[in-house]
């Protein structure tokens, strides 16, 4: 893992918590530009192409399905381990009967929802190919691989943010990150203070 990777995440955390994903994206792009060129640098030009309305409808269907079973107090979206699963990038959704806050994320492993089919993420197929190539195993590109992955994650969080304002049934916190990341975005809808 790139030496500065966790430092960058910690640096971005306050802006992420405020929902300022634009500044997070800008910072990560600048970091990627500051390191030697690699196949991972193509991520700079990529955006997620899933239509925002379709993503909102997907969540609303999930929320409706689960609300028939229990009262929803929180939800969570997580991408698969994209760097080790280059063939298909997608995200899963989970619902909770209580909200566990932003200081300890262990509660996210105790969801109450049933299985819901994941949604494929589109627009980063060229980066998927790079992660599936020898470049991912080349130590020369470790920094670029780590930073490109963080950029993809923030782009995913940006998609969740944009879709959340179109969700009809989102009345509680919705968190989003990638598998094995502790870099969580929470939608403004349903935000709760822990104090």
Residue 73: band (very low, low, confident or very high) from pLDDT cuts 50, 70, 90: very high
pLDDT tens across 13-58, in order? 999 999 999 999 999 999 999 999 999 999 999 999 999 999 999 9
For residue 14, what are its two tokens? Answer: 């306050």
* Average pLDDT estimate for 104-125: 97
Residue 2: band (very low, low, confident or very high) from pLDDT cuts 50, 70, 90: low
pLDDT tens across 130-176, in order? 999 999 999 999 999 999 999 999 999 999 999 999 999 999 999 99
Give the span between the Cα atoms of 41 and 37, in whole angstroms. 6
For residue 70, give the DSSP letter: S
Going along 3-136, which residue ranges are E strands? 74-79, 90-96, 119-120
* Average pLDDT estimate for 75-93: 95
pLDDT, residue 193, reads 40
For residue 38, what are its two tokens? Answer: 């690699």
C-alpha pair distances (Å), 108 with each of 95, 104, 113:
9, 9, 11
Tokens 């430092």 locate to 7
**pTM score, two decimals?**
0.94
Please measure the distance between the N-terminal and C-terminal CA atoms of the chain and give it in whole angstroms.
Answer: 34
**Per-residue pLDDT at 66 exceeds 80:** yes
For residue 7, what are its two tokens? Answer: 């430092």
For residue 110, what are its two tokens? Answer: 């105790």
Give the span between the Cα atoms of 91 and 116, in whole angstroms. 10
Given a contact cutoff of 8 angstroms between Cβ atoms, the answer to whether 37 and 140 are in contact is: no
Could you give the count of Cα atoms lying within 13 Å of 63 in the half-sphere of its Cβ? Answer: 21
For residue 162, what are its two tokens? Answer: 């944009």
C-alpha pair distances (Å), 126 with each of 45, 121, 131, 147:
11, 12, 9, 16
Given a contact cutoff of 8 angstroms between Cβ atoms, the answer to whether 75 and 96 are in contact is: yes
């Amino acid at each position: 893992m790139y030496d500065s990777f966790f430092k960058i995440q910690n640096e971005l955390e306050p802006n992420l918590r405020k929902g300022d994903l634009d500044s997070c994206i800008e910072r990560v792009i600048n970091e990627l530009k500051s390191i030697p060129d690699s196949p991972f640098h193509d991520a700079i030009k990529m955006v997620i192409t899933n239509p925002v309305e379709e993503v909102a409808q997907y969540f609303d269907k999930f929320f409706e399905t689960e609300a028939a079973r229990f009262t929803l107090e929180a939800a969570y979206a997580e991408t698969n381990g994209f760097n080790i699963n280059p063939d298909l990038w997608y995200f899963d959704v989970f619902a909770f009967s209580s909200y566990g806050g932003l200081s300890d994320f262990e509660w996210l492993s105790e969801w109450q929802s049933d299985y819901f089919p994941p949604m494929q993420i589109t627009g980063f197929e060229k980066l998927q190919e790079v992660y599936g190539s020898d470049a991912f195993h080349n130590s020369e590109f470790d920094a670029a691989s780590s930073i490109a992955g963080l950029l993809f994650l923030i782009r995913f969080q940006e998609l969740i943010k944009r879709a959340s304002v179109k969700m009809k049934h989102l009345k509680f916190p919705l968190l989003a990150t990638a598998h094995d990341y502790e870099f969580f975005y929470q939608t403004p809808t349903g935000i709760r203070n822990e104090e």
